[in-house]
Amino acid sequence: DARVTQTPRHKVTEMGQEVTMRCQPILGHNTVFWYRQTMMQGLELLAYFRNRAPLDDSGMPKDRFSAEMPDATLATLKIQPSEPRDSAVYFCASNRGDGNTIYFGEGSWLTVV
């Protein structure tokens, strides 16, 4: 049963600390998305990659967020320094680049205190 895998599932950290979230896309998928979900804003696209190259990161606060794909099986989202307003669920998703159906992971639940 192919699925997108995210770690950690839950993270509580203090303001100012670095947070790294990891994602393993479904094998064979060449497009990886990072979304952030909050009650107020819903699902917001932070960044996405195709064939490991960043295509759009306009939704990401550039001063503290960074996203990379070190290889085809790993995507990372880093927040440094973290702030309480970063508390949200961060979802990774992937697809084959056909632009329609995307498959979500279970999310990383981040709380910054």
| C-alpha to C-alpha distance for 37 and 85, rounded to whole angstroms | 12
Task: Collapse the DSSP code of 84 into the 3-class scheme (helix H, G, I; strand E, B; otherwise coil) and give the result.
Answer: helix
| C-alpha to C-alpha distance for 4 and 8, rounded to whole angstroms | 13
**Nearer CB in complex with other proteins: 105/112:** 105
Which range in 16-24, 62-70, 74-82, 104-112 contacts other proteins by CB under 8 A?
A: 104-112
Q: Is 78 exposed, middle or buried (0-12, 13-18, 19+ CB in 10 A)?
A: middle
Q: Is the dihedral of CA 90, 21, 107, 84 positive or negative?
A: negative
Does position 113 interact with other proteins (CB under 8 A)? The reply is: no
Give me Rg for the CA atoms of the chain: 13
Rule CB under 8 A: choose which of 21, 23, 32, 33 binds other proteins: 33
Does position 93 interact with other proteins (CB under 8 A)? The reply is: yes
Does position 101 interact with other proteins (CB under 8 A)? The reply is: yes
Rule CB under 8 A: choose which of 56, 73, 80, 84 binds other proteins: 56
Rule CB under 8 A: choose which of 12, 15, 55, 113 binds other proteins: 55
Binding site for other proteins (CB under 8 A): 4, 33, 35, 41-43, 45, 48, 55-56, 91, 93, 99-107
